A and B are shown apart, each in its own frame.
Chain A
Amino acid sequence: MTCDLSVKFNYLDFKNPVVAASGTFGFGEEYSRIYDVGILGGICTKGLTLEPKEGNNGIRLWETPMGVLNSIGMENPGIEAFIKNELPKMKKWDTRIIANIGGAAEEEYILASEMLNNADLDMIELNISCPNVREGCMAFGMKEKSAGELVEKIKHTSRHPVIVKLTPNAENIVRVAEACEAAGADGISLINTVKAMAVDIKERKAVFENIYAGLSGPAIKPIALRMVHEVCKAVSIPVIGIGGIMNWKDAMEFIMAGAHLIQIGTANFVNPEAGKKIVSGMKDYMEKEGIKNLDEIRGII
């Protein structure tokens, strides 16, 4: 039997549902030395801002049981350098390219999305969910009003499809998703990291300079799954499930909960070939179970 892993996400075809999550895959280059990243459904870029950003000082990564706390602080080369230096390299791979954009203020998001209008991309992922920058970003994603207003403006400026990446720290993530849909979003991705902290008892200090950081990895999966399920029930635009996906079984759980696509983040650190393994694992499972297309099992719960 031939099974088909392809997914229609709005009007865009993805060859399979496995997408590399923002901030965990750079711009793909490092991983392309390990496997052919063109086998992935898509790649989300590192979070981009209008101007280059140096990121946070101090410790940026801390391991915790079955999870990772990060406080990278959106270190990135800026939109212009991305278009000039990184995007042309990414275009060599036969995969969808999603530019993840963040910002401290509304104006920054608007200018960033304008600059990306001339770039050959497949989608924009509006990051209103990063907990590691002092201003903006996650602040937009906490409430439905601020999220909806920003999405409406970006939909107005951007010629690319816009998906919105939500934060589990929102007051009510389902309401935020609904507000994004009402504002014209083409899709929703969730979840970004969970705001968390760690203490160094020897130093009697918070581990991170910003005190709080973002938790990812298997520790957050059950929460992410529940949120994806709730959001899928509430909106009719397609959803990308993210959070603690380590293997093809986890990926299938998110599809059954209603996700169209899935993203893998921390798993790339655990095994740099995680993306490749998840694609082949999903295929094997579908063949064995006689599933011709993921539509047959998507959202069955």
Chain B
Amino acid sequence: MALITDNKKIGNGIYLLEVEGRFKGSPGQFYMIQVAETYPLLSRPISIFELTGNKLKFLYRIAGEGTRLLSEKKGGECIGLRGPYGNGYPSVKGKIAVVGGGMGAAPLYETCKRLKEHPDITAVDLYLGFSEEIILKNEWEKVCSSFFYDIGGMITKHVDVADYDAVLACGPDIMMKKLTETGKKHGKKVYVSIESRMGCGIGACLSCSCKTANGNKKVCKDGPVFLGVEIYDL
């Protein structure tokens, strides 16, 4: 159980949840959030937005019953939390492009923050694409070397993949597929974080099994981050 310290609406159906406690985790990993003990039954996998000291934040959108109930929770109430689960983004070097689409922006905040602090990283350029509105407009610049965003267009058009040592992405399949293809052409590694319906969240139930170039993998345990070519170059 974790104590909610804040849960505020920051966009159309989009919320920022903050809980207090002693947490671990690295960028790209997720927690299983249990809204109630009885209903809904399953926990929801939500990736780490930010982790500082004893505060853990999650950026989420109301997508169904579970997240709707979560959005009704107030500071002072408790939720069930298990994790961190999943592999998270690998360590990279040099000049990095971080690319997100829609709610795919969620795991990229902590990702950029950690990259920016890392001595092996020369630059962290963040590109975010949104369909209607930009979320947390004033926050992103703080955690990267340069920030570019776009509303209603194709964010991939603005990323010169050849100019980077590696690309870390999270967003719609078409976006991550496009980045993977360009990355392959220029011999650059593109890491993608994929989304899937999960049951147990720990690798036992095979609900989130996905086809990869190296056979079936479990998104919750082997992922959610994979090399783009493993997923899209089949």
Residues of A within 8 A of B (CB): 23-26, 30-31, 33-34, 46, 54-55, 59-63, 65-68, 70, 72, 75, 217-218, 266, 268-270, 272
A30 touches B203 (CB 8 A): yes
**Nearest CB in chain A: distance from B143 CB, A:** 32
**Nearest CB in chain B: distance from A19 CB, A:** 15
Bitwise interface map of B from 127 to 171 toward A, beta carbon under 8 Å scored 1, else 0: 000000000000000000000000000000000000000000000
A59 touches B197 (CB 8 A): yes
**Nearest CB in chain A: distance from B71 CB, A:** 17
Q: Does B182 contact A (CB under 8 A)?
A: no
The residue on A at minimum CB distance from B42 is: A63
Q: Which of B65, B207, B211 has the most CB of A within 10 A?
A: B207
Contacting residues, chain A, for B206 (C-beta < 8 A): 23, 26, 46, 55, 60, 72, 75
A24 touches B209 (CB 8 A): no
B202 touches A68 (CB 8 A): no
The residue on B at minimum CB distance from A65 is: B39
Interface SS of chain A: loop
Interface SS of chain B: loop
Q: Does B198 contact A (CB under 8 A)?
A: yes
Give 6 CB contacts A-B under 8 Å. Answer: A26-B206, A34-B202, A66-B41, A75-B209, A217-B41, A268-B200
A46→B199 CA distance, assembly (Å): 15
A70→B197 CA distance, assembly (Å): 11
Residues of B within 8 A of A (CB): 34, 38-43, 65-66, 82, 197-200, 202-209, 211, 216, 221
**Nearest CB in chain A: distance from B139 CB, A:** 32
The residue on B at minimum CB distance from A31 is: B204
A61 touches B207 (CB 8 A): yes
The residue on B at minimum CB distance from A217 is: B41
Give the 7 A-B CB pairs with smallest separation, nearest first: A26-B204, A61-B207, A30-B202, A30-B204, A30-B203, A60-B207, A269-B200
B204 touches A268 (CB 8 A): yes
A24→B206 CA distance, assembly (Å): 9
Contacting residues, chain A, for B40 (C-beta < 8 A): 63
A60 touches B200 (CB 8 A): no
A66 touches B207 (CB 8 A): no
**Nearest CB in chain A: distance from B39 CB, A:** 7
Contacting residues, chain B, for A26 (C-beta < 8 A): 203-206
Contacting residues, chain B, for A72 (C-beta < 8 A): 205-207, 209
The residue on A at minimum CB distance from B207 is: A61
**Nearest CB in chain B: distance from A273 CB, A:** 10
**Nearest CB in chain A: distance from B212 CB, A:** 11
A70 touches B200 (CB 8 A): no
Q: Which of A54, A66, A269 has the most CB of B within 10 A?
A: A269
A74→B207 CA distance, assembly (Å): 11
Contacting residues, chain B, for A55 (C-beta < 8 A): 206, 209, 216
What 8 additional pairs, Cβ within 8 angstroms, besides A26-B206, A60-B209, A269-B41?
A: A24-B204, A33-B202, A54-B216, A55-B209, A60-B208, A61-B197, A269-B199, A269-B200
Contacting residues, chain B, for A70 (C-beta < 8 A): 199, 205, 207
The residue on B at minimum CB distance from A76 is: B206
**Nearest CB in chain B: distance from A192 CB, A:** 15
**Nearest CB in chain A: distance from B89 CB, A:** 22
A72→B200 CA distance, assembly (Å): 13
A55→B38 CA distance, assembly (Å): 29
**Nearest CB in chain A: distance from B20 CB, A:** 22
**Nearest CB in chain B: distance from A100 CB, A:** 14
Contacting residues, chain B, for A218 (C-beta < 8 A): 41
A218→B38 CA distance, assembly (Å): 10
Contacting residues, chain A, for B207 (C-beta < 8 A): 60-61, 70, 72
**Nearest CB in chain A: distance from B15 CB, A:** 20
Q: Which of B34, B65, B200 has the most CB of A within 10 A?
A: B200
A218→B197 CA distance, assembly (Å): 20
**Nearest CB in chain B: distance from A57 CB, A:** 8
**Nearest CB in chain B: distance from A81 CB, A:** 12
A63→B200 CA distance, assembly (Å): 12
Contacting residues, chain A, for B198 (C-beta < 8 A): 61
A30 touches B42 (CB 8 A): no
**Nearest CB in chain A: distance from B181 CB, A:** 23
B209 touches A66 (CB 8 A): no
**Nearest CB in chain A: distance from B112 CB, A:** 30
**Nearest CB in chain B: distance from A296 CB, A:** 30
The residue on B at minimum CB distance from A67 is: B41
Contacting residues, chain A, for B65 (C-beta < 8 A): 63
A31 touches B202 (CB 8 A): yes
A46→B205 CA distance, assembly (Å): 9
A270 touches B209 (CB 8 A): no
Contacting residues, chain A, for B202 (C-beta < 8 A): 30-31, 33-34, 272
Contacting residues, chain A, for B43 (C-beta < 8 A): 269-270
**Nearest CB in chain A: distance from B218 CB, A:** 9
